[in-house]
């Protein structure tokens, strides 16, 4: 493939809010397309709306992209041959292109104030008509009329002179052919009186000058595309390919919004979602690997399988449970070392510091002990959010207790004497000053059960809840090994007494 044929795609956020899942998915699909084709991924910041653009949002968008691992080849910080990549630094470039349109007669001066437009809109509506956004008021001003407006010092914007007949269409790479009748496309403003281009104009100028081959974006832009095509035509530029991705809905199939839960990438980060899981889940929103293949995939695997043809044209519903499931699967697939890094961050946050009295041999500090706990937990470690509840009991006595399990298994007349009997048996059968292996605890539990004429489970269930506060934990014998015989006895006795 020649250099020229390599796709160049871009993500062009407006820095007016956080990086939300819709934007992140747009960024991801562009990134995947570039990475899967050996193309170039450009990040461009569309900050021409000076009132709504903020530094904070700009920083949050870059942070979100970096967290997801969506690296850009050209753009802020990365540089590149097509910069600057902030629209506010490209004003001369837009002005130059505007001048061409003015010279060719494709752009004209408009002196209508917001107030004028509002009044005329009202009049049209009062007469039962439809107002499409503009009524061509300044389209055919004479030179003398223009001069008069200018003499009055009226603010002047520029509009594109659009064709009034025929249609504008394109073959969308995701939704197939789209066609709009030109008569419904009004002469929109391309350059505002404040000297800034509008989004419609800047996006076309930049996509062209940055050599963008595929404009892949959310389908909320479908209605902008025909107007943008008319700008390309007026400037005599070749069209890029357009692809519009379906919107993301909430579980109730209404447009995803705050009321459905987290929507910004940073919120998911705080909720303990791993970047790899977020990326994986976002990829599945509107794309599927096809076949009966596993949906839990790394960025690399998705890149290998990705194709625009498999992007779905119907809206995708955001499923929080599925995201959590995928997150759990990603945690399970981490190496022991990676899991430990995650667990250590949680341990630090929780301030876990194990009393030296309870350290076990081979794990002579809290971190080493944590490593043993995480190894024992194995695949039960599937959420960063629940981990403190899940393993806090190893580190402190005032740990999380699931009251329902406690009432059912521990606080009963049947369980109390059994726990005392087991504590006695451990005390007499095992050396409390020595580390004991899981097998040793199993042996004591089985022989005690036999002696008492009960099933081993009748000792195991209350013991598990007495030690961990929960009815689900790592293997009980391993839990006892990690707790040590002395602490196990102590917890059993205090549970039986409480
Ligand atoms: N800046 C536009 C937005 O944030 C995106 C423009 C585009 O992708 O064409 O919605």
pLDDT in tens, 169-194: 999 999 899 999 999 899 999 999 99
**Is 213's pLDDT higher than 90?**
yes
* Best residue for ligand 1 mutational test, from 13, 58, 198 (most atoms within 8 Å of Cβ): 13
For residue 2, what pLDDT is reported? 47
Report, in this order, helix, strand and coil percent for the chain, each rounded to 5: 50, 10, 35
**Is 5's pLDDT higher than 90?**
no
**Is 275's pLDDT higher than 90?**
yes
For residue 99, what pLDDT is reported? 98
Domain ranges of the chain: 91-245, 258-332, 335-498
Provide the mean pLDDT of the chain. Answer: 95
Strands (DSSP E) contained in 328-399 are none
Ligand 1 atom closest to the Cα of residue 203 is 9
CA of 16 to the centre of ligand 1 (A): 11
User: Rounded mean pLDDT of 33-47?
Assistant: 97
* Best residue for ligand 1 mutational test, from 16, 49, 58, 203 (most atoms within 8 Å of Cβ): 203
For residue 290, what pLDDT is reported? 79
Tell me which residue has its CA closest to atom 6 in ligand 1: 12
Ligand 1 atom closest to the Cα of residue 10 is 8
Q: Which residues neighbour 144 within 8 Å (Cβ) at sequence distance 6 or greater?
A: none
For residue 4, what pLDDT is reported? 56
Ligand 1 atom closest to the Cα of residue 207 is 9
For residue 289, what pLDDT is reported? 87
Ligand 1 atom closest to the Cα of residue 16 is 4
* Best residue for ligand 1 mutational test, from 14, 25, 172, 239 (most atoms within 8 Å of Cβ): 14
Residue 265 near residue 20 (C-beta atoms within 8 A): yes
**Is 404's pLDDT higher than 50?**
yes
Alpha helices per DSSP H over 351-475:
366-377, 387-391, 403-405, 415-429, 438-452, 456-468
**Is 54's pLDDT higher than 70?**
yes
Residue 8 near residue 210 (C-beta atoms within 8 A): yes
| One fold for 91-245 and 335-498 | no
**Is 93's pLDDT higher than 90?**
yes
**Is 74's pLDDT higher than 80?**
yes
CA of 12 to the centre of ligand 1 (A): 5
**Is 3's pLDDT higher than 60?**
no
Confidence grade of residue 322 (pLDDT, cut at 50, 70, 90): very high
CA of 467 to the centre of ligand 1 (A): 55
pLDDT in tens, 409-443: 999 999 999 999 999 999 999 999 999 999 999 99
Q: What percent of the chain has pLDDT over 70?
A: 99
User: Rounded mean pLDDT of 128-134?
Assistant: 91
CA of 374 to the centre of ligand 1 (A): 44
* Best residue for ligand 1 mutational test, from 27, 33, 221 (most atoms within 8 Å of Cβ): 221
**Is 292's pLDDT higher than 80?**
no
For residue 173, what pLDDT is reported? 96
| More confident position, 258 or 81 | 81
Token representation of residue 305? 């399988």
- Domain 258-332 fold: 1.10.1160
Find the catalytic residue in 5, 100, 119, 258: 258
User: Rounded mean pLDDT of 29-41?
Assistant: 98
Q: Which CATH architecture has domain 91-245?
A: 3-Layer(aba) Sandwich (3.40)
Residue 317 near residue 335 (C-beta atoms within 8 A): no
User: Rounded mean pLDDT of 92-113?
Assistant: 97
| More confident position, 364 or 115 | 115
CA of 108 to the centre of ligand 1 (A): 25
241 is catalytic: no
Integer Cα distance of 339 and 481 in angstroms? 21
Ligand 1 atom closest to the Cα of residue 26 is 8
Integer Cα distance of 99 and 122 in angstroms? 33
User: Rounded mean pLDDT of 85-92?
Assistant: 97
Confidence grade of residue 456 (pLDDT, cut at 50, 70, 90): very high
Token representation of residue 414? 């049947």
Q: What percent of the chain has pLDDT over 90?
A: 89
CA of 407 to the centre of ligand 1 (A): 56
pTM for this model (two decimals): 0.89
The reply to whether CATH 1.10.10.350 applies to domain 335-498 is yes
- Pocket around ligand 1: residues whose beta carbon is below 6 Å from it? 12-14, 46, 203, 217, 221
User: Rounded mean pLDDT of 202-214?
Assistant: 98
CA of 291 to the centre of ligand 1 (A): 33
């Amino acid at each position: 493939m020649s250099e020229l044929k390599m796709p160049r795609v871009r993500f062009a956020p407006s820095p007016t809010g956080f990086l939300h899942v819709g934007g992140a998915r747009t960024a991801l699909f562009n990134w995947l397309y570039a990475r899967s084709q050996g193309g170039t991924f450009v990040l461009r910041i569309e900050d021409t709306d000076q009132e709504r653009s903020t530094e904070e949002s700009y920083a949050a968008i870059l942070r979100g992209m970096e967290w997801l691992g969506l690296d850009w080849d050209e753009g802020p910080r990365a540089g590149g041959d097509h910069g600057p990549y902030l629209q506010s630094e490209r004003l001369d470039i837009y002005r130059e292109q505007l001048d061409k349109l003015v010279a060719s007669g494709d752009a004209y001066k408009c002196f209508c104030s917001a107030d004028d437009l509002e009044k005329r809109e009202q009049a049209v509506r009062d007469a039962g008509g439809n107002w499409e956004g503009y009524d061509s008021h300044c389209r055919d001003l004479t030179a003398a009329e223009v001069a008069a407006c200018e003499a009055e010092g009226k603010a002047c914007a520029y509009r594109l002179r659009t064709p009034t007949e025929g249609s504008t269409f394109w073959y969308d790479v995701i939704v197939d052919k789209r066609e709009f009748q030109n008569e419904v496309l009004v002469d929109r403003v391309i350059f505002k009186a404040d000297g800034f281009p509008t989004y419609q104009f800047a996006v076309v100028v930049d996509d062209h000058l940055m050599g963008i081959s595929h404009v892949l974006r959310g389908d909320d832009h479908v209605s902008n595309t025909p107007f943008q095509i008319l700008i390309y035509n007026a400037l005599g530029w070749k069209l890029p390919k357009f692809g519009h991705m379906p919107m993301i809905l909430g579980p109730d199939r209404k447009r995803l919004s705050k009321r459905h839960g987290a929507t910004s990438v940073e919120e998911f980060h705080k909720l303990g979602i791993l970047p790899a899981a977020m990326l994986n889940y976002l990829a599945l929103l509107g794309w599927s690997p096809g076949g009966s293949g596993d949906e839990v995939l790394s960025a690399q695997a998705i890149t290998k399988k990705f194709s625009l043809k498999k992007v779905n044209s119907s809206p995708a519903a955001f499923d929080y449970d599925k995201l959590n499931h995928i997150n759990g699967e990603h945690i399970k697939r981490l190496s022991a070392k990676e899991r430990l890094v995650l667990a250590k961050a949680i341990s630090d946050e929780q301030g876990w510091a194990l009393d030296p009295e309870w350290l076990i041999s081979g794990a002579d500090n809290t971190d080493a002990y944590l490593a043993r706990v995480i190894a024992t937990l194995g695949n039960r470690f599937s959420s960063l959010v629940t981990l403190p509840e899940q393993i806090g009991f190893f580190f402190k006595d005032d740990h999380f207790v699931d009251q329902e399990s406690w009432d059912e298994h521990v606080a009963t007349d049947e369980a109390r004497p059994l726990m005392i009997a087991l504590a006695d048996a451990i005390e007499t059968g095992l050396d409390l000053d020595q580390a004991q292996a899981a097998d040793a605890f199993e042996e004591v539990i089985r022989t005690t059960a036999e002696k008492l004429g009960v099933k081993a489970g009748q000792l195991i269930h209350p013991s598990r809840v007495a030690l961990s506060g929960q009815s689900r934990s790592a293997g009980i014998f391993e839990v006892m090994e990690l707790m040590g015989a002395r602490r196990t006895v102590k917890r059993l006795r205090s549970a039986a007494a409480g």
